[in-house]
Chain A
């Protein structure tokens, strides 16, 4: 069965800390891995990763994929209270049953 596992499930840090969120997966016919940020209701897109070893960056956020070891990490440097959210990892399949399989998310709390 296709599976996406995120760790840790929750994390509390202070402003200015750097955090690393993990996502591992076991899926067939992998096409891409996506990261979303969910603050209140609607998840918003952060990154899509398809190739191993290529880092995607957006401001203080960055992410990288390791297709050999089947995992991805999301880094947030110099965290701010506005980074508090649930971070969702999802894996996209190619062919056949097309859907996103989501992990249960990592709840990040950044305290001032």
Chain B
């Protein structure tokens, strides 16, 4: 069974640019959530999608957005990049977060903003 796949794995952008990250969940999983991980703040919740609907959103500015497609694949977008957006962005999937707390994480997309 394939795991959670995130692309790209690494990317470098400059301030002001925008970036789109992609996540393919485990087959059959309908919930996809996104986390930002930095050395100072640890793992912070960005948002969660279930059946193409955003169910929950963390405390991040509107520059951070996402969506989920009918096949459960998800993308997140960060516009007008700032240096502080440099982080590891982790995607996690589960069958239904309402029934189980276990998440399956991808290996992340490492974003560097110069």
Binding site for B on A (CB under 8 A): 31-32, 34, 36, 40-45, 48, 88, 90, 92, 97-105
A73 to B15, CA, bound (A): 41
Residues on A with beta carbons closer than 8 Å to the beta carbon of B56? 97-99
Please determine whether A34 and B55 come into contact, CB atoms closer than 8 angstroms.
Answer: no
Please determine whether B101 and A32 come into contact, CB atoms closer than 8 angstroms.
Answer: yes
Residues on B with beta carbons closer than 8 Å to the beta carbon of A97? 56
Selected contact of B101 from candidates A31, A40, A42, CB within 8 Å: A31
SS class of chain A's interface: helix, strand, loop or mixed? strand
Binding site for A on B (CB under 8 A): 3-4, 33, 35, 41-45, 48, 55-56, 58, 88, 90, 97-98, 100-108
Please determine whether A102 and B43 come into contact, CB atoms closer than 8 angstroms.
Answer: yes
Residues on B with beta carbons closer than 8 Å to the beta carbon of A41? 88, 90, 107-108
- Which residue, B35, B41, B43, B58, has most C-beta atoms of chain A within 10 A? B43
Residues on B with beta carbons closer than 8 Å to the beta carbon of A100? 33, 45, 101, 103
Residues on B with beta carbons closer than 8 Å to the beta carbon of A42? 3-4, 90, 105-108
Residues on B with beta carbons closer than 8 Å to the beta carbon of A32? 101
Residues on B with beta carbons closer than 8 Å to the beta carbon of A48? 100-102
Known contacts A41-B88, A42-B90, A88-B43: A98-B48 contact under CB 8 Å: yes
**18 interchain pairs (CB within 8 A)?**
A32-B101, A41-B107, A42-B3, A42-B4, A42-B105, A42-B106, A42-B108, A45-B103, A48-B100, A48-B101, A88-B43, A90-B101, A98-B98, A100-B45, A100-B101, A104-B41, A105-B42, A105-B43
